[in-house]
A and B are shown apart, each in its own frame.
Chain A
Amino acid sequence: NAGVTQTPKFQVLKTGQSMTLQCAQDMNHEYMSWYRQDPGMGLRLIHYSVGAGITDQGEVPNGYNVSRSTTEDFPLRLLSAAPSQTSVYFCASSYSPAENTEAFFGQGTRLTVV
């Protein structure tokens, strides 16, 4: 059972470049989220989805887009990378809060924007 798979694990971008961070889960979870983690800031919610076709903004959505065309996949797009987006990115999935609120995390993507 793969759980939550994130790719790539490491990435270096130049300012202005775009890229997509991939996230896939095989647990049939409805809820998926993207977070960024910076030193001393904890995990900050970027975007989240409560099911296929439904997405919403979190605390720090600017500069990022998401889509949820299938239950399994929830890619995060950086439209025009900036040094302020240098961070560790985590994808997570869970069942609905009414059933089970344990979130399962991918192993993270370490992104550096130069």
Chain B
Amino acid sequence: GQSLEQPSEVTAVEGAIVQINCTYQTSGFYGLSWYQQHDGGAPTFLSYNALDGLEETGRFSSFLSRSDSYGYLLLQELQMKDSASYFCARTDSWGKFQFGAGTQVVVTP
């Protein structure tokens, strides 16, 4: 089964804020990353958290709580180009890099 759980789809209007939650298995956990993938393309890196707290990168922010085995990606001021799949990815201390099943974000006008 999946080492990470995230919602399958989120729909929001342009300009809105979307939060994508991710829970993960703790065994050997090192850090949590987020990736964006447009249809037909390769995943691209958005953000990474190894320590508790919030990391902000422009309109995108990522949060991690190690005690809750939980993180989220926050997408602010949504734009049409943000319609894509978003994946949380777990890095473990042995170098293994595993992805969740992905959240399809649909932005409507």
Residues of A with Cβ closer than 8 Å to B? 30-31, 33, 35, 40-45, 48, 50, 56, 58-59, 90, 92, 94, 96-97, 101-108
Contacts and interface: CB of A to CB of B under 8 A. Distances in A.
Interface of B: 2, 8, 30-31, 33, 35, 41-45, 48, 50, 87, 89, 91-102
A45 B96 contact: yes
5 tightest A-B CB contacts, nearest first: A42-B101, A105-B42, A43-B99, A50-B95, A102-B45
A101 B91 contact: yes
A77 B96 CA distance: 20
B91 A41 contact: no
B96 to A, nearest CB: 6
A58 B98 CA distance: 9
Contacts of B8: 40
A36 B61 CA distance: 27
Given A40-B101, A45-B97, 17 more contacts: A31-B97, A42-B2, A42-B99, A42-B102, A43-B102, A44-B99, A50-B94, A50-B95, A56-B94, A94-B97, A97-B30, A101-B31, A101-B33, A102-B48, A103-B97, A107-B41, A107-B42
Contacts of A44: 99
A103 B88 CA distance: 12
Contact of A106 (B33, B42, B91): B42
A91 to B, nearest CB: 10
B100 A42 contact: yes
Contacts of B100: 42
Contacts of A104: 45
Contacts of B33: 101-103
Nearest to B96: A48
Contacts of A97: 30-31, 91-93, 95
